[in-house]
Every structure is written in C-alpha cells, then in structure tokens.
Structure 1
C-alpha cells in the first residue's frame, strides 16, 4: 500500500475514533474501550500541570475520578518535539505509525514542526494536522491545554508517540480513584 493511502486510511480511522470522543474498535482492536470525551473548560474540576522533558513527564502518573473533567496545562520543557496523548496502550501503538509518517514526510524535524507540511493534502481531504481533542503536539517552549472528561477504562495512559519516545519510557499511568478526586 502506498504511504499516502496508508496515512489517509489511518487518519480516517483516527479522526472517526477521536471525533466521537471515544475509541471503540477505531483501529480494529475490538476492545471497545471508552476513554472519555472532550470536556468543557467551564466544567473542569481540576487543573493538572504536565511538563514534558526529553523523554519523561512530570508528573509520571495522574489520578482521576470516573466522570471527572480535567484541564491539563501541558508545557514542552525539552529540546525535542513532544506529544501529550491520552489513550490506551493499543491506541498509542496504532498512533505511533501515524507519527512515523509525520517524521518520514518531514513534519516532525527533531526540535521543530514543519507547519506547512502539516496542512499538506494527503488525499481525500486528509492532512497531517495533529488536532485530536485528546492530544497536543508541541515544539520546545510551547504550552497548550487539553480538557478531557474521563470515563472509566482499565488501562489508560498519557504518552508521547513521536518515534522512539514511548519506547524510551515517555508515558505515564492514569489511575482511577472511585472514592473521590485528588485535589
């Protein structure tokens, strides 16, 4: 399969899975895992600051309550492009293939992003824009927010899926506290 066709297919699946705010067989895993949905900042009951370094997060784990809306303020304090992405390990594995395409096409270039390439049409109106509501892709020194309403899932992580970063340990655990939210 040609790379552009593969990428277009992957982006279609990704956009469909995340636009609905859940991941239910979106990448063919058949797990039916629901990770939550985009939240409204006005409904956030907590704000968690997340720092991305080369190649780790601070904090390394977070605790949330099922149904809780959290505002993440994510800052890249490293020297490389990094991602903050909420998902299951299977979702991250699938997304890493898309991120590899971004490197292969010159979108991710070590410590910078080629924004012109992100807008390039890959066919059928699909681009390499990284605009899923559960994720931000940041150059060094950049900061953005992700607002997410969690639903319970057995195995949820936040991770950087830039090629090699997850494998180097750049991921953290999302723990669910059913008794009450950590303040």
Structure 2
C-alpha cells in the first residue's frame, strides 16, 4: 500500500473540501509557499497574483518599525517587504490590539514557542522577509513584534483600513 505524502494526509484530515489555499511568499525562504486562508478580523492571507501595493517596513534593535503607521483601502492586497536592520531576530505580526496582547503574553511565558501564520513574518538579523495580506475588512488594526520583551518595549505600529466606497 502506498503512503500518502504528509501534506496531502494533513489536508485530508483537515477536511480538504473546506480548505482554501493561496500562494504567498514564505517569510523564511522568500519563495512561493502554500498557506491556508482563514478569515480574520483584520483580513485574510493574500495571493501574490492580486498584489496591488508593496510596502517596505524596517525593523531594528531600537524596538521600532519604520514606518509605524500604515493606511490602506478595503480590498487592497499588500506585499510587505520586511527588512531587519538589527542584530536580533524580529517579527511582524498583524492583528487586533486584543489578539496581539494575548499573543505577547503567551510569548513571555513560552519564548521559544513555534508559530507561523500567514499574518506573521519572522526575519533574522540583517535579513529580509515578507508576507502578502488582503485587507478585506475596514477598521483600525495593529502590528507588532511579539518576541518576548520587544512588544513590551514598544515595537508596535498602527494600520488603518478605510471602508470601500461603492
């Protein structure tokens, strides 16, 4: 009997008929990766084919993002190019203030916790990473580095998504 490829087995176990897949950039390799699409309050994983805008963010060991305020229109699919100019690992995580607060608290308790979602990019010292995100819901959202201590030091930013006008 032939063995199933582990990815295919996982899809079958997850109920592949309800799983939607999209291609984005893998933040670790920079190459196209397959990610599961899950609607979040702040949007959904984007598809590289539909990128309408590219935003470059830099992170540094002063625990800051540049820029730290971003504005989008509902429906925009954004490619984030993330440059880590520091000597420490940093990450970009998009979410609501509540979600980021909860996640940051978990990271303090479990600093080596593995996590990898389409709205996150982990970028090594002196490296570049990225993610693609579709802001399909209007509102005020946040982004942060949730590595233990970084969020608490103020490594945060704001995202404003204006409602689409029809």
Is TM more than 0.5 here?
Answer: yes
Change (3 A) 1:155 1:178: closer
Q: 2:39 is matched with which residue: 19, 22, 28?
A: 22
Deviation at 1:102, TM superposition (A): 4.2
Residue 110 (structure 1) aligns with: none
Residue 119 (structure 2) aligns with: 134
Q: 1:84 is matched with which residue: 76, 82, 92?
A: 92
In 2, Cα distance between the equivalents of 1:22 and 1:179? 18
In 1, Cα distance between the equivalents of 2:164 and 2:136? 15
Q: Deviations over 1:11-66 (max 9, x none)?
A: xxxxxxx955234xxxxxxxxxx111100011000000010112000111111111
- How many corresponding residue pairs? 130
Residue 46 (structure 1) aligns with: 53
Task: Using structure 1 for the length normalisation, give the TM-score.
Answer: 0.64
Matched, 1:145 2:124: no
Q: Deviations over 1:150-175 (max 9, x none)?
A: 12243301111112212221111101
Q: How large is the RMSD of aligned CA atoms in angstroms?
A: 2.1
- Larger RCO (CA under 8 A, 6+ residues apart): 1
In 2, Cα distance between the equivalents of 1:148 and 1:161? 18
Residue 35 (structure 1) aligns with: 42
Q: Are 1:130 and 1:137, in contact at CA under 8 Å, matched by a contact in 2?
A: no
Structure 2 residue matching 1:50: 3-state secondary structure = strand
Task: Using structure 2 for the length normalisation, give the TM-score.
Answer: 0.70
Q: 2:78 is matched with which residue: 55, 70, 74?
A: 70
Matched, 1:173 2:158: yes
In 1, Cα distance between the equivalents of 2:76 and 2:139? 16
Q: Are 2:97 and 2:141, in contact at CA under 8 Å, matched by a contact in 1?
A: yes
